Amino acid sequence: MNVIILFMEGNFDLVIFGGTGDLALRKLYPALFLADCDDRLHAGGRIIAAARQTLDNDAFRAKVAEALQRFVPKVTGAAQEMQAKRDASLSRFLARLTYFILDANDATQYQALKRSLDERDSQTIFYLSVGPTLFPAIIGGLKASGLNTPDTRIVLEKPLGRDLTSSRQINSLVLEAFAESQVYRIDHYLGKETVQNLLALRFGNTLLEPLWNRSWVRDVQITIAETVGVETRGEFYDSTGAFRDMVQNHLLNLLCITAMEPPASLDPDAVRDEKLQVLRAMKPWTAETLRESLVRGQYRAGSMGGSRVASYLDEQGVAVNSPTETYVALRAEVSNWRWAGVPFYLRTGKRMAERRAEVVINFKSPPHSIFETPLAPNRLVITLQPEESVRLYTMAKAPGDGMRLREVYLDLDFQQFFRERRQDAYERLLLDVLRGNATLFMRRDEADAAWRWVQPVLDHWASESTPPIGYAAGSWGPPASSRLTALAGTAWHEEQSV
């Protein structure tokens, strides 16, 4: 049975600044299209792309149609009915799109945008899918033209600044024009299905809660490993680096969801208050931890899937002898009653051996063993991508004589249980913005607390002359990251026995 759900209550106008850019074409239109195919967009919803390029509506729609062809995941086999639905929905979706030529830096052009939006009564959302250097001009233009009415919403793409000072400047600027409740700061990792599942696993079950603390957990490991390099974003990446691009936002958000106390409800502020408490409890960096608990690396030429790939320093847009890190591993601590003394290892890198995002909870070893076989501590592995699964590693008796124990796992494969199509992170987050649900978006104080914690690392690296450690593309990063875990007598998940 097909259940038609119309979540949106009325007309909406979604204005995408940077509507011809990579993010819009690769992520935003495919997400909106899939939502439309499932009848989740109100019939009176319009999508208005704003950018400088000279295009008319037809040329713009053709560009989006081509992007949908490339970036919407294909349906296979038994899902042909779904494909027929998609084909039928395409013209409806394209008809929602219009193109508006606008130079964000030209303050006079916002009045014309206002006139086109004033034609009808609708919920207006401004999505800033542009680099942060354009935020001041766009926010200023919206304010000066009176487009920032109290019922509008504004979505800010990451990166929200490049340090504590610039992120505060952006936040102050946006809050001069909009109330905090109108502002949606995106971190697309919070929209991923398995991140939501982490909430379900922790707070929808009683089993884990008694173990989820310093008495039973030895360490926590959070990894986002990518096989891609910097691709076409060399210039952007070279001025950003892995720490700002991934740690300050995605990894810290995963840490918050893993470590936070149970919120009183799923109310946006209840969840965000608990995440904020974790950020505020992050143990501050010291001269010693900056030296001992932090590894930065940069990929060199290597082999990926049998093909040679270039060194980071030879990528287009990357400066000669660039000191930018493409890999970070670190040991953090959450200094509160639940987690005091438990290491949280975070790591991320480009051009790594596998594409994998996971949260690993390593439990403590049994206090006493009656077996001759060494006991591997229990491990809960929550995999976000490429597949979604939860695995609990336990010891079991191997068949045969004697009591030889071997590590095995209990596997919860979500694909097996849920046949429904998974929403992409951007689809979920865009629908949440349209519905006005801010639970999965960063509040100003959260963003501020995250930057406050990362700033000493940025300052430390800025003052250092030692370059990042090279690692071969296709590896798991520099050996120093294994030493980081070995210091505490543990090892990264892939280095532990199965």
Residues that bind ligand NDP (CB under 6 A): 18-24, 51-53, 102-105, 129-132, 134, 157-159, 236
Residue 23's binding partner out of ligand NDP, ligand BG6, none, with CB under 5 to 8 Å set by partner kind: ligand NDP
> Is 347 in a helix, a strand, or coil?
strand
The answer to whether 446 contacts ligand BG6 (rule: CB under 6 A) is no
306: left (phi over 0), alpha (psi -120 to 50) or beta: left
Residues forming beta bridges with residue 400, ordered by sequence position: none
| Nearest alpha carbon to residue 295 among 352, 242, 360 | 242
The answer to whether 157 contacts ligand BG6 (rule: CB under 6 A) is no
Query: What CA–CA distance (Å, rounded) separates 272 from 250?
Result: 15
Concatenated DSSP letters of 162-197 = SSHHHHHHHHHHHHHHS-GGGEEE--GGGGSHHHHH
The helix (run of H) or strand (run of E) holding residue 242 is helix 241-242
Residue 497 to residues 365, 393, 395, 407, Cα–Cα distance (Å): 14, 10, 12, 8
- Tokens of residue 385, six digits: 């991508």
Least Å distance, CB 325 to ligand BG6, is: 13
**Residues 197-226: x/- map of binding to ligand BG6 (CB under 6 A)?**
-----------------------------x
Concatenated DSSP letters of 267-325 = -HHHHHHHHHHHHHHBPPP-HHHHHHSEEEEEEESEEETTEEE--GGGSTTPPTT----
Size of interface with ligand BG6, in residues (CB under 6 A)? 2
Q: Which of 42, 250, 368, 460 is catalytic?
A: 250
Residue 245's binding partner out of ligand NDP, ligand BG6, none, with CB under 5 to 8 Å set by partner kind: ligand BG6
Would you give the DSSP letter of residue 375? P
Nearer residue to ligand BG6 within complex by CB, 374 or 386: 386
The answer to whether 238 contacts ligand BG6 (rule: CB under 6 A) is no
Residue 103's binding partner out of ligand BG6, ligand NDP, none, with CB under 5 to 8 Å set by partner kind: ligand NDP
Least Å distance, CB 226 to ligand BG6, is: 5
Q: 250 an active-site residue? A: yes
Nearer residue to ligand NDP within complex by CB, 113 or 431: 113
Nearer residue to ligand BG6 within complex by CB, 25 or 48: 25
Residue 323's binding partner out of ligand NDP, ligand BG6, none, with CB under 5 to 8 Å set by partner kind: none
Residue 104's binding partner out of ligand NDP, ligand BG6, none, with CB under 5 to 8 Å set by partner kind: ligand NDP
Query: What CA–CA distance (Å, rounded) separates 291 from 309?
Result: 31
The contact set with ligand BG6 (CB under 6 A) reads: 226, 245
